[in-house]
């Protein structure tokens, strides 16, 4: 059943992405190049709907056969589905930022309510109950995850490979830490994103749009909090695996705000965008992110999952060179990035 579902995820997402591409072309739902774009030709967008539809449908099948927790499925359907819907509407016609934020906040509250809060956080060998502060922090974290993938979905394939590598890495850490049979859910998610990536790999034939990027962030954020209920250290594993996106997006945001720029205005001053322009290739940067995820971040996450390394210490070790790279590639420094 599990193997069949994974194959079905790849095939279904691939077929739906093709159908969505034909719809986008017919409806002229195109992403036209501008001064803030990283692409040079009009490209269909909204392909992330294929990920949303295929994953939620097959996740429901897993839950029906007792292979996925019903509460997690309810959180994914309610929160993930609402974030995807708002993203799709925004893809069609730009929505005011305040309405998008309210929708994202409501999705975060729904998920945290279903999960009855968050577990204790393991820091330097101590399990700390953060109480209401931790609950608020978790809400901010989920909203940031939604926007994190939105911000970082700026070159061909990068958000897809990030979602695939973190989902598979997180599933492995979860299994090593707990032995739980619930790992098929994140693996299925990776399979559905892979089906979309076939169309999105550089040069991309379709973009996922806000419907897909926001959904990716929400689902991965939920996975990280859900798995921590059984093994608190696994949250740090996910946090480590998100390192490339976390560091680039956060560094860029902070530096732009410090310069007085509007934080939610479209731009192309992320480190990965500058690297793609400097090296003249989306493919090379997307593959470089994959190499860092698998060759650097995953081994550290596995050490944390198996109790050989503290999560806070592991995160500091994992993030340190990424921060250096973010500054090396002038994250958020629009002036310094000018030719």
pLDDT band at 36 (very low <50, low <70, confident <90, very high): low
Q: What is the predicted pLDDT for the residue at 116?
A: 85
Residue 118 CA to residue 29 CA, distance in Å, equals: 39
Segment 272-309, tens digit of pLDDT: 999 999 988 899 999 999 999 999 999 999 999 999 99
In a domain, 118, yes or no: yes
In a domain, 285, yes or no: no
**Average pLDDT of 23-29?**
88
Q: Which of 5-9, 124-128, 274-278, 306-310 is predicted with the least confidence, judged by mean pLDDT?
A: 124-128
pLDDT band at 105 (very low <50, low <70, confident <90, very high): very high
- Confidence (pTM): 0.94
In a domain, 134, yes or no: yes
Residue 45 CA to residue 274 CA, distance in Å, equals: 22
Segment 140-161, tens digit of pLDDT: 999 999 999 999 998 899 999 9
Q: What is the predicted pLDDT for the residue at 7?
A: 93
In a domain, 279, yes or no: no
Q: CA separation (Å) from 171 to 27, 79, 165?
A: 38, 21, 10
**Residue 176 · residue 166 · CB < 8 Å:** no
Segment 244-266, tens digit of pLDDT: 999 999 999 999 888 877 767 77
In a domain, 264, yes or no: no
Q: In which domain, by residue range, is 170 found?
A: 2-233
In a domain, 163, yes or no: yes
C-alpha Rg value of the chain to the nearest Å: 19
Helix (H) or strand (E) holding 111: helix 97-114
The region, left, alpha or beta by phi > 0 then psi within -120 to 50, assigned to residue 42 is beta
**Average pLDDT of 12-41?**
82
**Residue 47 · residue 229 · CB < 8 Å:** no
For residue 1, pLDDT beyond 70: no
Q: CA separation (Å) from 4 to 61, 66, 175, 180, 277?
A: 11, 15, 20, 20, 40
The per-residue pLDDT of the chain, averaged, comes to 90
Which DSSP symbol is given to 155?
Answer: S
The region, left, alpha or beta by phi > 0 then psi within -120 to 50, assigned to residue 116 is left
Q: Pick the residue with more confidence: 36 or 96?
A: 96
- The backbone torsions φ and ψ at residue 330, rounded to the nearest 5 degrees and listed phi first, read 55, 45
Segment 152-201, tens digit of pLDDT: 998 899 999 999 999 999 999 999 998 876 678 999 999 999 999 999 99
In a domain, 278, yes or no: no
Q: What is the predicted pLDDT for the residue at 123?
A: 79
For residue 40, pLDDT beyond 70: no
Share of the chain above pLDDT 70, in %: 96
Q: What is the predicted pLDDT for the residue at 259?
A: 84
Residue 76 CA to residue 58 CA, distance in Å, equals: 12
Residue 113 CA to residue 161 CA, distance in Å, equals: 30
Say how many domains are in the chain: 1
In a domain, 299, yes or no: no
**Average pLDDT of 209-223?**
95
Q: What is the predicted pLDDT for the residue at 67?
A: 81
Share of the chain above pLDDT 90, in %: 65
Sign of CA dihedral 105, 108, 114, 118: negative
């Amino acid at each position: 059943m599990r193997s069949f579902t994974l194959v079905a995820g790849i095939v279904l997402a691939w077929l739906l992405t093709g159908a969505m591409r034909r719809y986008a072309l017919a409806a002229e739902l195109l992403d036209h190049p501008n001064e803030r774009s990283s692409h040079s030709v009009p490209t269909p967008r909204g392909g992330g709907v294929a990920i949303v539809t295929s994953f939620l449908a097959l996740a429901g099948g897993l839950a029906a056969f007792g292979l996925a927790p019903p509460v997690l499925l309810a959180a994914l359907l309610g929160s993930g589905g609402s974030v995807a819907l708002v993203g799709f509407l925004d893809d069609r016609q730009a929505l005011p930022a305040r309405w998008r934020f309210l929708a994202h906040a409501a999705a975060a509250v729904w998920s945290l309510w279903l999960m009855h809060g968050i577990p204790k956080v393991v820091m330097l060998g101590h399990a700390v109950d953060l109480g209401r502060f931790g609950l608020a922090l978790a809400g901010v974290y989920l909203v940031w995850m939604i926007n994190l993938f939105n911000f970082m979905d700026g070159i061909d394939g990068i958000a897809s490979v990030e979602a695939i590598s973190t989902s598979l890495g997180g599933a492995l850490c979860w299994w090593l830490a707990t032995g739980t049979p619930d790992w098929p859910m994140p693996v299925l998610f990776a399979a559905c994103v892979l089906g979309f990536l076939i169309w999105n790999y550089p040069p991309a034939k379709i973009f996922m749009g806000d419907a897909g990027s926001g959904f990716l962030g929400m689902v991965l954020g939920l996975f990280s909090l859900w798995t921590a209920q059984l093994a608190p250290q696994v949250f740090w594993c996910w946090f480590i695996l998100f390192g490339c996106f976390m560091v680039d997006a956060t560094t860029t945001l902070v530096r732009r705000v410090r310069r007085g720029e509007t934080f939610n205005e479209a731009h192309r001053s992320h480190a990965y965008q500058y690297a793609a322009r400097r090296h003249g290739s989306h493919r090379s940067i997307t593959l470089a992110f994959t190499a860092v995820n698998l060759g650097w971040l995953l081994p550290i996450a596995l050490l944390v999952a198996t109790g050989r390394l503290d999560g806070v210490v592991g995160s500091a070790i994992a993030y340190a060179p990424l921060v250096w790279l973010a500054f090396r590639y002038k994250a958020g420094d629009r002036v310094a990035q000018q030719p």
